[in-house]
Each structure stands twice: as structure tokens, then as C-alpha cells.
Amino acid sequence: MKHKICLHGLCLKNKGQLLTMVQKLLPPSTVKNKIKEKFLSDDNLLKYKRTKFVPVNPVGYKVTCITGVMVINDNLQPLNEVVIQYESEAVEEVRKLLQRLLSGKIKFVLEEADLLLRAKQLRGRSSIQDMEFYDEDEVTTALYCHLPWHILAASKAWGELLTCTNERNLVRQLRVKLRRLRSCLTFFKELLPTASFEQYKQLVKRWTTVLGAAREYDVALLTCMKIRHAQKGEDSTEEVSRLEEILQECRSKASKKILSSSKLNGVTLQLAEMLLLMQNAIIPENYRELRLKAFIRLRLGLWCDKLMTLKEKYPEFSDMEQLHKLRLKVKRFRYGLQGVPEIYLPNSLLRSLKSLQDMLGLLHDDYVNDMLIGEIMQQYPEDAALQYEGAMFCGWERAKAEAALASLPGLWDNFTALLGDWREEHL
């Protein structure tokens, strides 16, 4: 089976830059050029030059450069693509080529190699089931489609974060993409080598942790704004408080740490190597004969069973450490469901799951906020204005937490009842 990996170049100075770099890195090759133009609809167009490099001596892979534009709904998207098509036997050679490509000055992210599918994605009309190797009869689809879908999404989100000047909203988006990837890895871990699964799970976890500090300050700043609006009205133009000033300074430092410690091409290489693993993993013998949906049902059944017993494992809803563990399990379950479009869940169950997750998330944010502000107050014991603002902030959070805790048992019981009924009927 032939697989493809596509690198999308960002911020190129000129069209020739990509071709020059690729030609220098490849062994002696014959070069074939072709101009292509395809109208997808009245306002959707593909127009590009395709340059194929075919090594004189076979190396197990072929490289194609694509330069041009994609016009989708009147929005112009540049095409600066390096597409590597390879046989499984050439994995190591491809890995070395990726290392060379990503050691240069051009910044890359991973992209969907199929331009028609990418156009559908940009129009918001595609799903995992549209990918080239999707086959509902084969469990390998999880490795060829489900996991690559989330790998590509995470790569593009990293690219947006590390090349954008205003990254505040992008931090949250990237963390969501990474959590979905991690949930997908966990959901399909039985199909992966144990060592590789642990390696990539920890990698995604480290990335999420790096982003976590900035996100915590964002949540605290949002609470400050809500308090200010509650006191002064939505249209208040009053200057930010002393507490907000300190939080903004801390947030700026956290942002700089992210940008300084994360190099885009390094991240892209790690995700590309993850993609190589997915495309070439050997399915364990006991799962090879399973159809995709049968495997998904098996895994969902196990996850449902664990969720149904969580209240016994973490009985104290007032214990924030237990609630944090409960929240992570619920979030993982929701992200896992979002990663398997083959399974239908009724709206009532989805609404109940979302309400439960939102409430657990609110309690977690309140808890983290309270600790965060408490630490800041300890750093400035003589700052009377800060002490007053911090005390008001913590009081606000505790009041929200008490109200949320009162509703949590009912939300949990409603969710588990609906989940139990659905599991009995469908799994």
C-alpha cells in the first residue's frame, strides 16, 4: 500500500524557494512539470503547477511539489506543498527525508494530501469518512483515517499559534485539538505498539501542559472581566484592576515561554513521525478480523462500564481532587465519541454529557482560579488594593462553586441513567 505525507509550507518569499530547497535535498532525479486547473464550482478553483521528482535510482518514495492557489468561497489559499508518496519498505528513508526537509528555514505544517478533500474541509463539508483509505469493514481505518485526521488538525493548530501575532484565542483551540488527539490515541491504543502509544501519549500531554499556564491566566482574566461588568455594567470603560494587571503580566510571560520553547518544524517532525507510525503499524492478530464498528463498540462498551462505576471510585463530589479525575474521564469520553462518527448518540444523551462536562469544567476552573489568585496575593502581602480585589475574586468563585456542587449529583445521575439505557440498547 502506498501512503502519502504532505508538508504545507508557510510564509514563503517566492514560489521558487520551495522547489529549490527540495531539489537540493533529493538524490539525482528526473523532473516532470504539469500545469493543472480545475473548477470545483463557480467560486471554487484549483490552479497549480505540479513538479514530480522521480529519483534516478529507486529509493522507495517519490516527491511532488505543488505551487499555486486554491480559491474556496472567494477566499484565496496558497498552495506550497511537498507530497511524499512511499512504500512501507521505505519508512526509514522517508523519516530521514522529513528530517532534512524540516531542518531548513521554511516552516511547515502537515496537511491533507488530497486537494479535493482539503477543499471540502475548507468548505466545512467533510469528515473522517471522506478520507482516501476509509473502509468500514477494516479496523486499519482507525490508523489510516481516525488518528491521522486528529494529527493533521493538531499540526495546523500548532502552525496557527506559532505564526500568529495574536495567539490568545489560539491557545484554547490548540489545547482542544491536542486533547482530542490524546483521547483518540487512548481509544485506539489496543491497535498500537505499547511503547509507541505511551511515547506519543506523553508527548501530547507535555504539549498540553506547556499550554496550560497561559490558558489558566486567560480563564482568571475572564472572571475578572465578569466581576468588573457585574459591578460597573457591561459598558464600563474603567481601567483594569491591579489584579488584572498582574494576571496580564503573568499571561504575557507564559505566552513568551510557549513561543520560545516550541519550534514549529520540530513539532511538525514529531507529528509526522507519529503519522508514519499510524500508516505502518501492524494490527495485533486478535483484532485483525474485526470490522471497524465492532472494534469501536467494544471499546465504547469498556469506556461506558468505567464511567458507570466512577461514582463508586470517586464518591466525594466535594473533593476537588476526585472531581478533577472525574472531569478528565468524562472529557476523554466526550472527545472519544467525537472522534468516532460511526456511532450515533441521541441528542438527549449528548446534551446531558455536555451539561455534566460543563459543570465539572466550571468547578475545576473555580478551584484553579482560587489557588492561582491565592498564590498572587501571597506574593504581594502589602498591596491593599490587590488583597481586596483578590478576596472579592475568591469569594465570587466560591459562591459559583457552591451553586455548581449543589446541581452536580442530579446531573451525574441523569447522565449515567441515559448512558446505561443507550449502552444496553446499542452495545
Q: Is there a single domain that holds both residue 304 and residue 393?
A: yes
Torsion of CA 350, 351, 353, 358, to 10 degrees: 140
Distance of alpha carbon 276 from alpha carbon 161, whole angstroms: 24
Name the domain boundary from 286, 315, 340. 286
Q: Is there a single domain that holds both residue 281 and residue 134?
A: yes
Q: What is the pLDDT of residues 145-177, one digit of tens each?
A: 999 999 999 999 999 999 887 777 889 999 999
Q: What is the pLDDT of residues 328-374, one digit of tens each?
A: 999 999 998 888 999 988 999 999 999 999 999 999 988 899 899 99
* Domain of residue 94, CATH code: 3.30.310
Q: Is there a single domain that holds both residue 365 and residue 241?
A: no
pLDDT of residue 238: 62
Name the domain boundary from 104, 126, 148. 126
pLDDT of residue 148: 97
Q: Is there a single domain that holds both residue 90 and residue 149?
A: no
Q: Is there a single domain that holds both residue 75 and residue 192?
A: no
Residues 6+ apart with CB under 8 A from 55: 26, 27, 28, 29, 61, 62
Name the domain boundary from 286, 306, 322. 286
Q: Is there a single domain that holds both residue 101 and residue 164?
A: no
Torsion of CA 228, 230, 235, 237, to 10 degrees: -20
Taking the alpha carbons of 404, 222, 267, 76 in that order, is the dihedral positive or negative?
Answer: positive
Q: Is there a single domain that holds both residue 149 and residue 277?
A: yes
Q: Is there a single domain that holds both residue 68 and residue 135?
A: no
Confidence tier at 141 by pLDDT (50, 70, 90): very high
**Secondary structure tally for the chain: helices H, strands E:** 14, 6
Q: Is there a single domain that holds both residue 145 and residue 280?
A: yes
Q: In which domain, by residue range, is 373 found?
A: 291-427
- Nearest Cα to 379, choosing from 395, 390, 363? 390
Q: What is the pLDDT of residues 244-268, one digit of tens each?
A: 999 999 999 998 888 888 899 999 9
pLDDT of residue 231: 76
Confidence tier at 235 by pLDDT (50, 70, 90): low
Structural domains counted in the chain: 3
Over 80: is that where the pLDDT of 20 sits?
A: yes
pLDDT of residue 237: 56
Distance of alpha carbon 151 from alpha carbon 344, whole angstroms: 23
pLDDT of residue 14: 82
Q: How many CB atoms lie within 10 A of CB 43?
A: 11
Looking at residue 281, the DSSP 8-state letter turns out to be: P
Task: List strand residue ranges (DSSP E) for 13-60, in order.
Answer: 29-41, 44-55
Residue with cell 507510525: 277
- Which is higher by pLDDT, 380 or 232? 380
Q: What is the pLDDT of residues 54-105, one digit of tens each?
A: 888 888 899 999 999 999 988 899 999 999 999 989 999 999 999 999 999 9
Q: Is there a single domain that holds both residue 45 and residue 151?
A: no
* Domain of residue 139, CATH code: 1.20.120
Q: Is there a single domain that holds both residue 144 and residue 259?
A: yes
Q: Is there a single domain that holds both residue 381 and residue 339?
A: yes
